[in-house]
Amino acid sequence: MANSIVVGLQWGDEGKGKVVDFLTEEADVVVRAQGGNNAGHTVIANGEKYILHLIPSGILWGEKQCVIGNGVVLDPIGLVTEIEKLESQGVKISADNLAISNRAHVVLPYHKELDEARELARGDKKIGTTKRGIGPTYADKANRNGLRLADLLNKEVALELIATRLKDANEDLAKYGLSQFTAEGVLENIAPALERLKPHIKDTIPLLHDARKAGQTILFEGAQGFFLDIDFGTYPFVTSSSTSSGGAVSGSGLPPQSIQEVIGVCKAYTTRVGSGPFISENNDFSDYMHNELGREFGATTGRARRCGWLDTVLLKFSCLINGVTKLAITNLDGLDERETIDICVAYDIDGVRHTYPPAERDAWNRAIPIYETLPGWKCSTEECTTWESLPENARAYLSRLAELAETNIGFVGVGPDRKQTIVV
């Protein structure tokens, strides 16, 4: 396998975790380069369900080197909880297979409080964040007053930096009527988690570059989805990191030439958690997913995901900007019992046909989906193991979406299990 990145092409929860897990078999190193524990990646393997938030899904293979890169915002307490849960499920995690960049910015308790308070203050204009402190932590990073793991390992240095940062942060908290933090309190809160993580925290640059020089295969695990990207997403209803393939470069410290293959993960339909535009949203289809199939509930917050038809205006744009070389279409089985299936092929905005998503916020409110309708296949695909064994109408649906996306399909998911993956 070539060095590859797995990137979500929609609004997250496309099934990146499952695709990364599947591809890890042929990889030596698996790297997360952005986002934080706002992510929730579900993998089902050997009859067991694992949920990963910060740790690359590659950890489930035991002997693979996993790296949490500098571009990630890291909640130490959340990470320790995640490690303990995985260990209780028999996953081996040690300093030998999990390295954490000492340049990663740290999510501190006041980031989470500010995230929640700002959401409340937005009222009906809320973003619907995961309340994991992601936005405030990336804001501190950009404001140049964030704290990195390397800053927190020495107690005196850490206390001084936190105290300086708290001067402003406490003022912000006071505006929302929240209690004040002290530097000692903040450090005490995270100290046990930092101590537990210490053996993993290092400069990951030599490790990654040595692996590259030695010809090892590197797999990047994207988090969130392209339309949550801070530049290209449905701004301001986005997350605070670069979720595109480009983000993997700055978030890991590996150069662009170290990625040869970009695998774009896309559900056979569309889902979104949180607020913001969703042109092909369909309430009947959402009800069907939640009530009849009992699926599409978030892995991080448990919220019901909004559901709708596949939107190829978005998909084509995603493929273009991420440089997708292969599509991984997941959850095809979610459409198994549908009589007909719609695909959104363009938007009508003020009577004009658009095949690129708009940048103007208010244009999203006026966009009307233009659909093509294809016949369903009305039978289970869950046992299919090859392209040829898929029902004819399922193949026709996949071929049409690939044509609209102008990208070839490399993988098709027909169930949540590692084994339910068709290589095309």
Residues within the interface to ligand IMO (CB under 6 A) = 8, 11-13, 38-41, 127-130, 132, 134-135, 223-225, 228, 239-240, 273-274
Residue selected from 5, 9, 10, 17 as contacting ligand GDP according to rule CB under 6 A: 17
Contact of residue 78 among Mg ion, ligand GDP, ligand IMO, none (CB under 5-8 Å per partner type): none
Rounded least distance, CB 283 to ligand GDP, Å: 20
Rounded least distance, CB 11 to ligand GDP, Å: 10
The reply on whether position 416 binds ligand GDP by CB under 6 A is yes
Q: Which of residues 343-402 bind Mg ion (CB under 5 A)?
A: none
Tokens of 156: 């005196």
Lookup result for tokens 């910060």? 54
CA 4 to each of CA 50, 213, 324: distance values in angstroms, whole numbers, following the listed order: 23, 16, 10
Q: Which is nearer to ligand GDP, 41 or 105 (CB)?
A: 41
The answer to whether 203 touches 102, Cβ cutoff 8 Å, is: yes
Gap between the Cα atoms of 228 and 238, Å rounded:
4
Gap between the Cα atoms of 423 and 328, Å rounded:
9
> DSSP of 226-238, one letter per residue?
GGG-TTTSSTTSS
Q: Which is nearer to ligand IMO, 132 or 200 (CB)?
A: 132
Contact of residue 44 among ligand GDP, ligand IMO, Mg ion, none (CB under 5-8 Å per partner type): ligand GDP
The reply on whether position 13 binds ligand GDP by CB under 6 A is yes
Stretch that binds Mg ion, among 79-87, 152-160, 294-302, 310-318 (CB under 5 A): 294-302
Which amino acid, 228?
A: L
Q: Which is nearer to ligand IMO, 35 or 253 (CB)?
A: 35
Gap between the Cα atoms of 350 and 338, Å rounded:
31
Q: What is the DSSP letter of 35?
A: B
Tokens of 268: 């056979």
Site size toward Mg ion, by CB under 5 A: 3
Tokens of 37: 């524990």
Site size toward ligand GDP, by CB under 6 A: 22
Out of 21, 28, 41, 333, the active site residue is 41
Closest CB to Mg ion: residue number: 13
Q: Which of residues 195-224 bind ligand GDP (CB under 6 A)?
A: none
Which amino acid, 119?
A: E
Tokens of 135: 């936005």
**183 CB neighbour count, 10 Å cutoff:** 16
The reply on whether position 36 binds ligand GDP by CB under 6 A is no
Rounded least distance, CB 74 to ligand IMO, Å: 14
Rounded least distance, CB 295 to ligand GDP, Å: 7
Does the annotation count 348 as an active-site position? no
Rounded least distance, CB 166 to ligand GDP, Å: 33
Does the annotation count 111 as an active-site position? no
- As beta bridge partners, residue 266 has 329
24, containing H or E segment: helix 16-24
CA 64 to chain centroid: 21
Rounded least distance, CB 392 to ligand IMO, Å: 32
Residue selected from 4, 13, 230, 244 as contacting Mg ion according to rule CB under 5 A: 13
271, containing H or E segment: strand 270-272
Helix (H, G, I), strand (E, B) or coil at 74: strand
The answer to whether 239 touches 134, Cβ cutoff 8 Å, is: yes
12 in the Ramachandran plot: left (φ > 0), alpha (ψ -120 to 50) or beta? left
Q: Which is nearer to ligand GDP, 102 or 243 (CB)?
A: 243
Residue selected from 331, 349, 394, 402 as contacting ligand GDP according to rule CB under 6 A: 331
Contact of residue 228 among ligand IMO, ligand GDP, Mg ion, none (CB under 5-8 Å per partner type): ligand IMO
Stretch that binds ligand GDP, among 9-17, 201-209, 212-220, 311-319 (CB under 6 A): 9-17
Gap between the Cα atoms of 372 and 146, Å rounded:
48
Parallel, antiparallel, or unpaired: how do β-strands 41-45 and 48-52 relate? Answer: antiparallel
Just list the catalytic residues.
Answer: 13, 41
Binding residues (CB under 6 A) for ligand GDP: these are 8, 12-18, 39-42, 44, 299, 330-331, 333-334, 413-416
